[in-house]
Structure 1
Amino acid sequence: MTLAPPDTAVPAALARAFEDVDRLGVAFSGGVDSAVVLAAAVRTLGAARVVAVLGVSPSLPATERAAAHRVAAVVGAALVEVETHEGDNAAYRANGPDRCFHCKDELFTRIGEDVVTAHGLDAVAYGENADDARRPDRPGSRAATEHRVLRPLADAGLDKAAVRALARAWDLPCADKPAAPCLASRIPHHEEVTPEKLAQVEAAEAALRDLGLADLRVRHHGDIARLEVPAADLVRVASEPLRAQVNAAVRRAGFRWAVLDLAGMQSGAFTLEVLNRA
C-alpha cells in the first residue's frame, strides 16, 4: 500500500484493530514493527490501558533488551519482562524451519500464563506487517493464530514501508533501526541451538557494531563465522584497517575463522533455502 501520511494520526484501519479492546498487551521487541503497534495502541487506548511485554532469553541480545526499554519509555507505555524458556524445548533446539513457531508459542504461552491475568488484559497483539504475512518463512504466524494474538499492522494492510513512515512521523527512536532477528536465526537449520552458540554470535556482533558496522549478521558455522553486511560495506570490511579489526573481533568471540559473504545481507536465508529445496 502507499506510505502512511506524515502526520501524527493513527490510520483508521489500524485504529479499528483496538475497537473492542479494553486492556491490551503488546508482544514487544523494540523493533519498528512492534513499536508502531505499541505507539498506535497508546494513542488509541491511552497509556494506562496498554502494556508492552518483552520476552527475555539467551536469544535476545543485551543491547536489544536495553533498546526495547528505551523505546517503550519514549512511547509512554509500561514494560514488563517475561522469561521465556524455548531452550528447554527439544523441538526448538533441533532448529528445524519451524523453530520460530516454537519460540513464539513459548512467548505467547508465557504472556497468557504470567501477564494476562496479572495485568487484566483482554487481548494480546504483535508486530506482523503485511509483507511478513505474505512470506513463507514466518512459522511464528501459526503460533499467533493458535493463541488468538492480534496482528493489527497486517490486518490494516500496512507493509514495511508504511510502518517505517508511521514510526518516523511519530518520532520513534527505532524508526530507522535495521531489522534485528533473534540470535537463533544465525544458526543453520538442523544444527542445534545452544546458549554457547548464541553467546558467541552476540559477542561477535556487538564487537563488530563497536567498529561502526550498524547492519550485519554473523552466521554460525562451527569454527567459521560467516559475515553478512550490506553490499555497500563489502569493500570497506575487506580493506585495511577494518579487515584486521573485524578478524580479531570475531576470533575473540571464539571463532577460528571469519569469512565475508559476497552475497551481502540475506534476510531469512536459512529458512528460505530449506523451503526452496522442499
Structure 2
Amino acid sequence: MNANAKMEKLKARIKEMESTIVAFSGGVDSTFLLKVAHDALGNKVLAVTARSASFPEREFKDAEKFAFEYGIPFRTIISEELELEGFAQNPPNRCYLCKKELFNKIKQIAKDEGFKFVVEGSNYDDLGDYRPGLRAIEELEIVSPLREVGLTKDEIRLLSKEMGLKTWNKPSFACLSSRFPYGERITEEKLKRVDKAEQFLIDLGFGQVRVRYHGNLARIEVKERDFERFLDKQIRNSVYTKFKELGFVYVSLDLIGYRTGSMNEELVNKD
C-alpha cells in the first residue's frame, strides 16, 4: 500500500472517531496527525501538549504556534515525571513510567470533557526499537492511528510536505531524558545542561543533534554529513568552550553519528 492509500485509510479511521484528543508534541508525526484530525473533525479535536523539564521550551513554542496558526483548540498540562517514583533513577522502563502518567492525565481530560478517543503519533517505524512507552499506550487503550495504517517516518514527511506543513523536514526529537545512560540519575539541572548544549549546536547550524550525557563527558551525535564541520578549528573551539562552561570536562564526537535509541545499545550488548 502506497503513502496516499494509507493517507485515505487514516482519514477514514479518524472520521470514525467523531471526537478525539491528540497528544501533541509539535514534532513531525504528531503535527501531521493533528492536522489530519483537525481537517477531518474540526473543533471536535483538542491538542494537548505537556510541559516538563524534559521538554525544551523551543519545542513547546513550536507546538503552541502551530495550533494558533491553524486555529486548533490547544491545552497545556504539566507532566511531573521527575516526581514519579523510580523515574529519576532512569531505569530501562523510564519511558513507560512517563507515558503512563502523561496519558492518564490526558484520558481524564477526555472523560471530563466528552472526547471519545485519545490518539498519539507513534509511527510504524517505532515498532523496530525498544520503546517501553508503547506498552503504556496499549495498556491505557490510547489509539495510534499512524501505526495502525502502517505509515512510516519517510511517508509522513512526504505527506507533510505535500500538505505544506513546515515540519516535514524538522529534525526528529525525543525527550531530553533519553540522553542519559540507564541508571544515571536524572535531575532538572542535568536536563537543563543537555538542553543548553543542544541549543548551542542548533544555533551553530547543526540540524539533527543529540548530546548524550556520560557524567563529565558529552558525546555529540550529528548526521555524517556534518562531521566535516568539526574539522573547522573555530567550531571545535567554540563547542568545547561552551560545553566546558556548562560543566562538561570532556567533549567527544560519536564516530557513528546520529541514530535513534543509541542509549538502548547497552541493553543489547548486555544480552
Category of TM-score, reference length = shorter chain: over 0.9
- Are 2:129 and 2:261, in contact at CA under 8 Å, matched by a contact in 1? no
Q: CA deviation at 1:181?
A: 0.5
With a CA cutoff of 8 Å and minimum separation of 6, indicate the structure with the bigger relative contact order. 1
Q: CA deviation at 1:54?
A: 0.5
- Are 1:130 and 1:158, in contact at CA under 8 Å, matched by a contact in 2? yes
- Report whether the alignment pairs 1:212 with 2:192: no
- Report whether the alignment pairs 1:277 with 2:270: yes
- Report whether the alignment pairs 1:129 with 2:123: yes
Q: CA deviation at 1:73?
A: 2.6
How many Å separate the matches in 2 of 1:243 and 1:107?
Answer: 39
Q: CA deviation at 1:136?
A: 3.6
Q: CA deviation at 1:142?
A: 0.7
Q: In structure 2, what is the equivalent of residue 119 of structure 1? A: 113
How many Å separate the matches in 1 of 2:171 and 2:129?
Answer: 21
Q: CA deviation at 1:72?
A: 2.1
5 Å-filtered alignment, 1:89-100, equals 89-100=84-95
Q: Which runs of 5+ in 1 are unaligned?
A: none
How many Å separate the matches in 2 of 1:87 and 1:128?
Answer: 23
Q: Which of residues 41, 63, 75 is equivalent to 1:80?
A: 75
Alignment length, in residue pairs? 271
More helix by share: 2
How many Å separate the matches in 1 of 2:13 and 2:87?
Answer: 31
Q: In structure 2, what is the equivalent of residue 43 of structure 1? A: 39
How many Å separate the matches in 1 of 2:231 and 2:269?
Answer: 31
- Report whether the alignment pairs 1:14 with 2:10: yes
Q: In structure 1, what is the equivalent of residue 57 of structure 2? A: 62
SS of 1:158's equivalent in the other structure is: coil
SS of 1:225's equivalent in the other structure is: strand
CA gap 1:2/1:251 in 2 versus in 1, 3 angstroms: farther
Query: How high is the TM-score relative to the length of structure 2?
Result: 0.94
Paired AA for residue 37 in structure 2: A
* Percentage of matched positions with identical amino acids: 36
- Report whether the alignment pairs 1:103 with 2:98: yes
Q: In structure 1, what is the equivalent of residue 4 of structure 2? A: 4
Q: CA deviation at 1:229?
A: 0.9
How many Å separate the matches in 1 of 2:112 and 2:199?
Answer: 35
SS of 2:18's equivalent in the other structure is: coil
- Are 1:208 and 1:249, in contact at CA under 8 Å, matched by a contact in 2? no
Query: How high is the TM-score relative to the length of structure 1?
Result: 0.92
SS of 1:207's equivalent in the other structure is: helix
Q: Which runs of 5+ in 2 are unaligned?
A: none
